[in-house]
């Protein structure tokens, strides 16, 4: 099985600059491809990943500032041209449905595939997606307009049987396997307990990824981010502009690093850098003073969760 990974398609902030792309990410997690935010040009970036666009069934939009969603209508049109059949679900704040509807009206387009909007409006964390492998929650953020981050969590996998050891216990038959795979001990008729760890291999811990863009420094979210394996947190400004950042509903690199540190995440990826700072390595430098495992991303590089 392929491990979960994240590809950052763009991490630029709102003002476009040469050879950079606005916010968009693709997360592969246990057989699912999730598209997170969708700035202008996302579909061109997707082509470069060679991930088939039709594999995406769920799109998550954090908020309705253009650098996070202007590329969506293009993707929806491409699905139309490709005669998509699968249902596509879009999770976003109120408004996007109206925007898409107006676009389609004026091009006289009737979408040929089922398009579902899940409208997010809660100010509290809520579960918005669950299938057999993955659960997804909102992370309420604090920005100029209503904004959510998203927390993606792998579900616990069934354990693999240590079949050599299982065979040593004559009483175990095939009907008991599922219980053992779930992590339960086996109890023999005479009451002897065979511990689960003798009967199974150690299974991989379920992994988690959190996406937080855009937001001012918001310690309220720390409780949602506890121990996540990978955190993407915006850092629009360097520390010198701390006040401006806060007033504009954005974070500094140190803010992001503080959130990472207090949440005890394993790794922090920074992004959404203001283009007033041409040398973005400085963001990493500042963040590392607070949280060592901080990096600035490389576009299109897969990051293991």
- Binders of its own copies among residues 68 to 87 (CB under 8 A) are 70-71, 73-74, 77-78, 81-82
Residues 68, 23: Cα–Cα separation, whole Å:
6
Please state, as a whole number, how many other Cβ atoms lie within 10 Å of the Cβ of residue 185: 13
How near is the Cβ of 212 to its own copies at its closest, in Å? 19
Catalytic residue flag (residue 67): yes
Asked if residue 158 binds its own copies (CB under 8 A), the reply is: no
Contact flag: residue 183 with its own copies (CB under 8 A):
no
Which of 37, 40, 234, 284 forms a contact with its own copies (CB under 8 A)? 40
115 half-sphere exposure, CB direction, 13 A CA radius: 19
Q: Is 115 in the site for its own copies (CB under 8 A)?
A: no
Rounded to a whole number of angstroms, the minimum distance from the CB of residue 18 to its own copies is 5
DSSP 215-239: ----GGGHHHHTT-SEEEEE--B-G
* Complex with its own copies: residue 76 or 199, whichever CB lies closer: 76
256 and 223 Cβ atoms separated by less than 8 Å: no
How far lies 119's CA from each of 110, 138, 146, 300, in Å?
21, 12, 12, 29
| Interface with its own copies (CB under 8 A), residue from 5, 51, 54, 99 | 99
The whole-angstrom distance between residue 210's C-alpha and the CA centroid of its chain comes to 5
Instruction: Based on the shown chain and the rule CB under 8 A, indicate whether residue 121 belongs to the binding site for its own copies.
Output: no
Return d(Cα 285, Cα 290) in angstroms, integer: 10
**Element (H or E) spanning 45, and its range?**
helix 42-49
Question: Which H or E run contains 166?
Answer: helix 163-168
Residue from 31, 86, 87, 102 that binds its own copies (CB under 8 A)?
Answer: 102
Residue with tokens 């950042």: 245
17 near its own copies, judged by CB under 8 A: yes
Catalytic residue among 37, 67, 214, 229: 67
User: In the stretch 51-70, what mask flags binding to its own copies with x, by CB under 8 A?
Assistant: -------------xxxx--x
Shortest distance in whole angstroms from residue 95 CB to its own copies = 3
Catalytic residues: 67
| List of residues contacting its own copies (CB under 8 A) | 14-18, 21, 40-41, 43-44, 47-48, 64-67, 70-71, 73-74, 77-78, 81-82, 93-96, 98-99, 102-103, 105-108, 144-145
């Amino acid at each position: 099985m392929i491990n979960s990974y994240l590809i950052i398609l763009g991490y630029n902030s709102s003002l476009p600059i040469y050879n950079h792309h606005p916010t968009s990410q693709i997360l592969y997690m246990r057989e699912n491809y999730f598209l997170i935010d969708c700035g202008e040009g996302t579909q061109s970036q997707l082509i470069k990943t060679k991930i088939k666009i039709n594999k995406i069934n769920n799109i998550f939009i954090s908020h309705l500032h253009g650098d996070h969603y202007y590329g969506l209508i293009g993707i929806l049109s491409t699905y139309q041209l490709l005669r998509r059949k699968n249902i596509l679900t879009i999770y976003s704040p109120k408004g996007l449905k109206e925007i898409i509807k107006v676009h389609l009206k004026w091009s006289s387009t009737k979408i040929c595939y089922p398009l579902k909007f899940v409208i997010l409006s809660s100010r509290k964390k809520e579960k918005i997606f669950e299938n057999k492998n993955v659960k997804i929650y909102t992370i309420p953020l604090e920005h100029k307009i209503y904004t959510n981050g998203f927390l993606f969590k792998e579900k616990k996998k069934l354990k693999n049987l240590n079949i050599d050891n299982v065979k040593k216990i004559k009483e175990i038959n095939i009907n008991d396997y599922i219980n053992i795979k779930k992590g339960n001990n086996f109890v023999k008729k005479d009451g002897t307990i065979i511990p689960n760890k003798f009967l199974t291999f150690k299974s991989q811990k379920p992994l988690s990824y959190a996406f937080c863009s855009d937001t001012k420094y918001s310690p309220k979210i720390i409780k949602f981010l506890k121990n996540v394996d990978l955190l993407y947190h915006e850092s629009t400004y360097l520390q010198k502009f701390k006040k401006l950042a806060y007033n504009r509903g954005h974070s500094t690199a140190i803010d992001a690093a503080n959130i990472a540190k207090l949440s005890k995440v394993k790794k922090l990826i920074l992004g959404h850098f203001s283009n007033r700072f041409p040398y973005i390595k400085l963001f990493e430098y500042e963040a590392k003073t607070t949280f060592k495992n901080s990096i600035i991303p490389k576009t299109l590089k897969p990051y293991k969760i």
